[in-house]
């Protein structure tokens, strides 16, 4: 049996190939970044740098090899999966190499410079083999470049450049959407449209030229125009030229928000606020009706409303609730909030019931309006009941009658309406009330240690398991429309609540197996045996855990990938040997990640996505898995080094499975091109690109080594702080005493010159500090110059400190000192930093203790 959905159109083995390829790429990228962050001191600096460069070259060679192989079998316009994956990994590894060099030599380069260079180096690989993953990486790094530039220099014009850059990307993504293999998903236009329109709120091209005493209403009206005009163009283009419902929703929401900001900027009374809110609510309802009619015109065969319209529905409900609360508390002067919420919820629910019984079989526009009023009433009623829960916070005996009563009331109204979106969101509200109640009960009555004793389990673990079961049953009974109608809202409600509950939970990454493991690693443990390594990477689950009833649900969640794999495989053809081999790998994956059920749950979503033929579920699974990897990096009580080994181990394992399935189950479409007639230009250009990147990089490495070996020493007094970098690992943020003197001299200089432009003082972005040195080599400030100094009178000759002057807060290069994980306590005793200076380059060489001895 083959799943012939519009999204996948792949056999079960080919989909497994795609799944393991995605997992291997994610785990490999995460493993390499984590390994770099561990800052291994077992190897020399050059060994680490050249090893990573070797991996980069190997990745591009493998990508080139698979490109030549796949070009024989896959049509020119088709996506070449393996070669694309290795080219994407090469793009990631380029950034990793830059990060490693910056970490090793403490270059002090601005973060925006690293991301700018990384973005530039990605372009050739993207042009050679266009694909959506590499395009998303480029969009992410270029936007981060501009954000980091703004953070470094406080340049408000950066927002204008962000809008322009993303607009150019949007045009290119539409023009080359087939080459990027995004014609079905259209992910790039959706993301870029959101980036363009959302950043328009920060554009100041027009408003910066206004007088200082301009009326605020004029200012916000101009902001409204600069958002609503481009949004109107977006609506026209994606309605008439290339229908994209998500972009229509995005443009509509941005227009309504801009109009709302303009309206509320002129609010001077409670009555006007209510009128403004009511007008916004009516406009939003009208927009929903209009968008829904466009959607039905374009997709007449679809009965349910689009999931994207649910975003606008929630937005309308939010506006309605806020407007109702303003009317209740400001206009009517209700003194008791709880009573007001109850009265308001009853009023709204009676309106909803009146509309329902007046239009019992309403469809389309009227059904949406009725659903909005029902959901508004549910939210207000939930607010009333939760007020009681919060009033009872910390009491020893917290009865469950409050959530039970709320659930009973909702149950009476739940089956009145059949709209799937309304039922889904209603169930999410009910689950949210129970979650808040149970969390309050657990925190008020039970300590962390007693959570386990009293069999407490977070509700989102229960819904994770329920979500898997519901989606599976939904597809099993797919031909029974009555069963499907009842199960579909339950499945999606469980999924949304599981993700929301997991994301908002403080211990979101761990099950109760290891929830009480809170110690962090002060020093990297010395592990000589495999059992010690195993205990470390599993957070001591198998050695510490004592099974109790409260652990059954999280434990079952951990086994969902393996169970669902076997269940789904019953419906599709796969060789027994292949089936058992993949099952063994999933079992090992479960065995080693048992302490993190959410990791395993999101992999299960990727399996179920194929079974239920849902691109939305697949997209959610991919995004959630990426989020898991990011959180896993910050799991402090498992050392970075061991996490890196675990991630790299599974990356190799998953990639081996992906390559095997790719070879054993090729695509049906074969090309008649022989291996030797395939053009080798692209692989050669890719290899030359990487070499052209590495040659100047290695020249800089040689230059940095020369500075550290032969540069003049400069010792500065410091005060350290210890955070963690997102890609480079543990580091000590250094504050230098000399910077205070530099700032004071800059302020004095600017006051003397009275350099005032447009009412604001201007300051140079780069200054140069000349220094004195005592007999121990400790430097103090001599004077500050705005140009590279040539006159060193009364100062140390041929030595200066290049200083970045950021918003009148001068910073030296290398304000951070990176060190190996677990050595924070060792470097905490540092009181001085030793720099080396040569040919205008200043590098942080090492930290010194109070006696000026190297650490």
- What are 222-272's pLDDT values in tens digits? 888 889 999 999 999 999 888 999 999 999 999 999 998 888 887 777 778
In a domain, 271, yes or no: no
In a domain, 336, yes or no: yes
pLDDT higher at 165 or 361:
165
Q: Half-sphere exposure of 358 toward its Cβ, with a 13 Å CA cutoff? A: 9
pLDDT value of position 512: 45
Rounded Cα distance between 92 and 707, Å, is 29
The rounded radius of gyration (Å) of the Cα atoms in the chain is 30
Query: Where on the phi/psi map is residue 107: left (φ > 0), alpha (ψ -120 to 50), or beta?
Result: alpha
In a domain, 13, yes or no: no
Share of the chain above pLDDT 90, in %: 19
pLDDT higher at 712 or 216:
712
Two tokens, residue 278? 């009511």
Q: What share of the chain is helix, strand, coil (3-state, %, to 5)?
A: 65, 10, 25
Which residues in 41-72 are b (16+ Cβ under 10 Å) and which e?
eeeebeebbeebbebbbebbbbbbebbbbbbe
**Residue closest to 227 by CA, chosen among 263, 251, 195, 192:** 251
Angle at 687 between CA 685 and CA 690, to 5 degrees: 110
86 phi and psi angles, rounded to 5 deg: -70, -35
- Boundary of a domain, candidates 207, 237, 266: 266
Is 486 found in the same domain as 605?
yes
- 213 pLDDT more than 70: no
Long-range pairs for 795-798 at CB < 8 Å and ≥24 separation? 795/770, 795/771, 796/770, 796/771, 796/772, 798/712
Range of the domain at 477: 461-678
pLDDT confidence band for 682 (50 / 70 / 90) = confident
* Candidate ranges 289-303, 438-452, 472-486; pick with highest mean pLDDT: 289-303
Looking at residues 48-70, what average pLDDT do you find? 88
The total of other beta-carbon atoms located within 10 Å of residue 699's CB is 10
Rounded Cα distance between 820 and 830, Å, is 15
- 447 pLDDT more than 60: no
In a domain, 601, yes or no: yes
- 606 pLDDT more than 90: yes
Two tokens, residue 661? 């399935």
pLDDT value of position 454: 43
Q: Give pTM, 2 decimals.
A: 0.82
Rounded Cα distance between 775 and 784, Å, is 22
* Candidate ranges 62-76, 316-330, 423-437; pick with highest mean pLDDT: 423-437
pLDDT value of position 726: 42
In a domain, 12, yes or no: no
- 516 pLDDT more than 60: no
Is 689 found in the same domain as 569?
no
pLDDT value of position 5: 46
- 669 pLDDT more than 60: no
785 phi and psi angles, rounded to 5 deg: -125, 155
- 323 pLDDT more than 60: yes
- 568 pLDDT more than 70: yes
Token look-up 């309006």 returns 369
pLDDT value of position 233: 94
Sheet holding 779-785, edge to edge: 779-785, 766-773, 801-806, 809-811
pLDDT confidence band for 165 (50 / 70 / 90) = very high
Is 691 found in the same domain as 659?
no
pLDDT value of position 514: 46
Is 140 found in the same domain as 70?
yes
pLDDT confidence band for 3 (50 / 70 / 90) = very low
Is 313 found in the same domain as 438?
yes
C-alpha distance across the termini of the chain, in Å: 65
pLDDT value of position 749: 65
Rounded Cα distance between 251 and 1, Å, is 42
pLDDT digits (tens, 9 = 90+) for 460-472: 888 999 999 999 9
pLDDT digits (tens, 9 = 90+) for 102-137: 777 776 666 788 888 899 999 999 988 899 989 999
pLDDT higher at 564 or 669:
564
pLDDT value of position 463: 92
Rounded Cα distance between 466 and 495, Å, is 9
How does the average pLDDT of the chain come out, rounded?
A: 80
pLDDT value of position 675: 47
pLDDT confidence band for 542 (50 / 70 / 90) = low
In a domain, 758, yes or no: yes
Is 208 found in the same domain as 309?
no
Q: Which residues contact 243 (CB under 8 A, 6 or more apart)?
A: 298
Is 672 found in the same domain as 534?
yes
- Boundary of a domain, candidates 411, 445, 479: 445
pLDDT digits (tens, 9 = 90+) for 772-792: 888 888 888 888 888 888 888
pLDDT digits (tens, 9 = 90+) for 684-720: 888 888 888 888 888 888 888 888 888 888 888 886 5
Is 421 found in the same domain as 390?
yes
In a domain, 180, yes or no: yes
pLDDT confidence band for 644 (50 / 70 / 90) = confident
pLDDT value of position 139: 94
Q: What is the 3-state secondary structure (H, E, C) of 227-288?
A: HHHHHHHHHHHHHHHCCCHHHHHHHHHHHHHHHHHHHHCCCCCHHHHHHHHHHHHHHHHHHH
Rounded Cα distance between 353 and 416, Å, is 9
**Residue closest to 399 by CA, chosen among 410, 415, 388, 387:** 388
pLDDT digits (tens, 9 = 90+) for 577-601: 889 999 999 999 998 888 788 889 9
How many domains does one find in the chain?
A: 5
Is 58 found in the same domain as 201?
no
Rounded Cα distance between 94 and 116, Å, is 12
**Residue closest to 304 by CA, chosen among 379, 376, 371:** 371
Is 844 found in the same domain as 732?
yes
Interaxial angle between packed helices 640-664 and 81-105, expressed in degrees from 0 to 180 and rounded to the nearest 10: 160
- Boundary of a domain, candidates 238, 266, 294: 266
**Residue closest to 430 by CA, chosen among 493, 341, 349:** 493
- 515 pLDDT more than 50: no
pLDDT confidence band for 525 (50 / 70 / 90) = low
pLDDT confidence band for 508 (50 / 70 / 90) = very low
Is 240 found in the same domain as 125?
no
Is 652 found in the same domain as 540?
yes
pLDDT value of position 163: 92
| 842 strand-pairing partners | 837
- 536 pLDDT more than 50: yes
In a domain, 14, yes or no: no
pLDDT higher at 452 or 187:
187
pLDDT value of position 724: 44
Looking at residues 53-67, what average pLDDT do you find? 89
């Amino acid at each position: 049996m083959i799943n012939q959905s519009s999204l996948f159109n792949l056999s079960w083995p080919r989909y497994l190939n795609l799944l393991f390829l995605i997992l291997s790429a994610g785990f490999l990228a995460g493993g390499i970044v984590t390994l770099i962050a561990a800052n291994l001191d077992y190897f020399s600096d050059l060994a680490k740098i050249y090893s990573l460069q070797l991996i980069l070259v190997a990745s591009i060679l493998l990508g080139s090899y698979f490109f030549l192989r796949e070009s024989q079998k896959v049509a020119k316009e088709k996506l070449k999966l393996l070669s694309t994956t290795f080219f994407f990994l090469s793009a990631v590894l380029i950034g990793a190499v830059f990060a490693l060099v910056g970490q090793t030599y403490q270059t002090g380069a601005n973060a925006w410079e690293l991301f700018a260079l990384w973005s530039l180096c990605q372009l050739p690989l993207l042009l050679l083999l266009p694909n959506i993953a590499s395009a998303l990486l480029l969009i992410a790094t270029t936007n981060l470049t501009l954000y980091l530039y703004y953070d470094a220099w406080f340049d408000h014009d950066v927002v204008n450049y962000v809008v322009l850059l993303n607009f150019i990307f949007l045009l290119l993504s539409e023009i080359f959407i087939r080459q990027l293999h995004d014609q079905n998903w259209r992910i790039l236009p959706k993301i870029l449209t959101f980036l363009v329109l959302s950043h328009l709120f920060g554009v100041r091209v027009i408003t910066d030229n206004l007088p200082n005493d301009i009326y605020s209403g004029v200012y916000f009206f101009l902001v409204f125009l600069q958002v609503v005009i481009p949004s109107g163009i977006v609506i026209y283009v994606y309605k008439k030229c290339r229908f994209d419902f998500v972009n229509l929703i995005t443009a509509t929401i941005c227009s309504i928000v801009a109009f709302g900001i303009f309206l509320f900027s002129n609010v001077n009374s409670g009555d006007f606020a209510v009128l403004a809110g009511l007008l916004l609510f009516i406009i939003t309802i009208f927009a929903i009706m209009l968008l829904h009619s466009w959607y039905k015109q374009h997709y007449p065969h679809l009965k349910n409303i689009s999931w994207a319209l649910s975003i606008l529905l929630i937005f309308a409900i939010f506006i309605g609730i806020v407007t109702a609360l303003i009317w209740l508390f400001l206009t009517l002067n209700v003194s008791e909030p709880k009573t007001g919420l109850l009265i308001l919820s009853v009023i709204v629910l009676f309106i909803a019931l009146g509309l329902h019984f007046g239009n019992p079989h309403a469809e389309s526009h009227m059904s949406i309006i009725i659903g909005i009023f029902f959901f508004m009433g549910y939210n207000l009623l939930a607010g009333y009941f939760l007020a009681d829960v919060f009033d009872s916070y910390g009491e020893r005996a917290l009865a469950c009658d409050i959530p039970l009563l709320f659930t009973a009331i909702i149950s009476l109204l739940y089956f009145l309406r059949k709209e799937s979106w309304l039922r889904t969101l209603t169930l999410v509200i009910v689950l949210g009330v129970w979650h808040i109640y149970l969390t309050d009960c657990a925190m008020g009555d039970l300590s962390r240690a007693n959570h386990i004793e009293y069999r407490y389990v977070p509700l989102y673990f229960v819904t994770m398991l329920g979500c898997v079961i519901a989606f599976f049953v939904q597809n099993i009974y797919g031909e029974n429309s009555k069963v499907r109608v009842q199960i579909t809202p339950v499945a999606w409600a469980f999924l949304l609540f599981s993700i929301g509950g997991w994301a908002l939970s403080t211990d979101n990454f761990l099950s109760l197996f290891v929830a009480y493991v809170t110690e962090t690693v002060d020093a990297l443990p010395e592990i000589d045996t495999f059992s010690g390594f195993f205990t470390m990477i599993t957070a001591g689950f198998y050695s510490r855990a004592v099974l109790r009833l409260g652990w059954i649900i999280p434990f079952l969640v951990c086994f969902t990938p393996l169970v669902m794999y076997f269940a789904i495989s019953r419906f599709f053809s796969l060789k027994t040997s292949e089936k058992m081999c993949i099952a063994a790998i999933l079992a090992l994956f479960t065995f080693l990640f048992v302490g993190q059920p959410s990791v395993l749950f999101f992999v299960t979503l990727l399996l179920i996505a194929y079974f239920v033929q849902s691109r939305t579920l697949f997209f959610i699974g991919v995004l959630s898995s990426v989020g898991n990897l990011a959180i896993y990096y910050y799991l402090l009580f498992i050392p970075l080094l061991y996490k890196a080994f675990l991630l790299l181990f599974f990356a190799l394992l998953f990639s081996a499975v992906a390559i095997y399935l790719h070879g054993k189950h090729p695509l049906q479409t074969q090309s008649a091109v022989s291996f030797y007639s395939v053009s080798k230009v692209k692989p050669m250009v890719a290899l030359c690109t990487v070499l052209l990147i590495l040659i100047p990089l290695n020249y800089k490495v040689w230059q940095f080594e020369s500075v550290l070996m032969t540069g003049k020493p400069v010792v500065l007094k410091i005060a350290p702080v210890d955070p963690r970098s997102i890609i480079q690992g543990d580091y000590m943020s250094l504050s230098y005493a000399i910077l205070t003197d530099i700032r004071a001299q800059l302020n004095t200089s600017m006051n003397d010159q009275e350099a005032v432009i447009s009412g604001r003082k201007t300051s140079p972005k780069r200054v140069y500090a000349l220094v004195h040195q005592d007999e121990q080599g400790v430097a103090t400030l001599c004077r500050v110059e705005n140009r590279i100094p040539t006159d060193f009178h009364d100062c140390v000759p041929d030595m200066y400190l290049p200083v970045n002057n950021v918003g009148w807060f001068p910073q030296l290069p290398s304000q951070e000192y990176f060190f190996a994980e677990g050595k924070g306590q060792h470097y905490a005793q540092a009181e001085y930093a030793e720099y080396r200076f040569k040919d205008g380059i200043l590098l942080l060489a090492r930290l010194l203790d109070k006696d000026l001895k190297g650490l």
